[in-house]
């Protein structure tokens, strides 16, 4: 019972940290005068961003990893090292599409200010393929996360994902619950 409480507490803390980071990012973007904040540019960024990730993850349209949608030196902050560049980002995210079947990626909410966006998402799938070298477990995953995004000239320039990696590994059956 105590362990269940600790896991729930950690999840709540991760959500709280993501919200605080979001607020800080939004506050900092109001001080960023390099890109004027307009409702139209924010709406256009949200539309492009949502469309690109829906098509890539749900429909495997990796051709959308291009210089029309992503900054040339796009940075994906992931552990253990950042992914830099369009081709590297494409190779990294291909693991999710080839590693899982029955993929359902849902953007639950997205909002923005200036050149910053925040996305609350859900990823579901069955681990039926090799995923970053991990052999298929046949397990289903259902994980929520938050992504902080920086857009640059209407293109995705930087992302930082937050999700419960422990829960993800437990759902894959790689770590005991």
Can you spell out the DSSP letters for 71-111? EEEEEEE-SSS-EESHHHHHHHHHHHHHHEEEEEEEEEEEE
Indicate whether 177 belongs to any domain: no
Indicate whether 176 belongs to any domain: no
Instruction: Answer for the pair 84, 74: CB distance below 8 angstroms, yes or no.
Output: yes
Q: Please give the model's pTM, rounded to 2 decimal places.
A: 0.78
Indicate whether 129 belongs to any domain: yes
Q: What integer pLDDT is reported at residue 128 of this predicted model?
A: 98
Write the pLDDT tens digit of every residue in 26-36. 555 444 444 45
Instruction: Answer for the pair 93, 87: CB distance below 8 angstroms, yes or no.
Output: no
Indicate whether 38 belongs to any domain: yes
Write the pLDDT tens digit of every residue in 77-102. 998 899 999 999 999 999 999 999 99
Indicate whether 97 belongs to any domain: yes
CB neighbours of 117 closer than 8 A, spacing ≥ 6?
Answer: 42, 45, 46, 49, 110, 111, 148, 149, 150, 151
Q: What integer pLDDT is reported at residue 120 of this predicted model?
A: 98
**Which is more confidently placed, 47 or 12?**
47
Q: What is the SS3 assignment for 39?
A: helix
Range of the domain at 63: 2-171
pLDDT at position 62 over 60: yes
Give me the count of residues in the chain: 177
Indicate whether 66 belongs to any domain: yes
Q: Residue 51: which CATH number?
A: 3.10.450.50
Indicate whether 21 belongs to any domain: yes
Count of domains forming the chain? 1
Write the pLDDT tens digit of every residue in 5-22. 455 555 655 554 555 555
pLDDT band at 177 (very low <50, low <70, confident <90, very high): confident
Indicate whether 107 belongs to any domain: yes
**Which is more confidently placed, 169 or 6?**
169
């Amino acid at each position: 019972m105590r362990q269940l409480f600790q896991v729930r507490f950690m999840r709540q803390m991760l959500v709280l940290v993501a919200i605080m980071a979001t607020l800080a990012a939004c506050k900092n973007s109001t001080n960023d005068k390099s890109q004027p904040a307009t409702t139209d540019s924010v709406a256009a960024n949200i539309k492009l961003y949502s469309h690109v990730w829906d098509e890539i993850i749900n429909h495997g349209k990796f051709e959308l990893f291009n210089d029309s949608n992503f900054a040339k030196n796009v940075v994906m902050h992931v552990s253990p090292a950042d992914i830099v560049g369009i081709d590297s980002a494409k190779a990294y995210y291909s693991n999710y599409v080839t590693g899982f079947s029955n993929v359902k990626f849902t953007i639950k909410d997205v909002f923005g200010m200036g050149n910053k966006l925040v996305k609350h998402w859900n990823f579901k799938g069955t681990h039926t393929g090799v995923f970053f070298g991990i052999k298929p477990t046949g397990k289903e995953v259902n994980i929520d996360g938050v992504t902080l995004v920086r857009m640059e000239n209407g293109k995705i320039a930087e992302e930082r994902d937050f999700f419960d990696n422990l829960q993800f590994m437990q759902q894959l059956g790689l770590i005991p619950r």
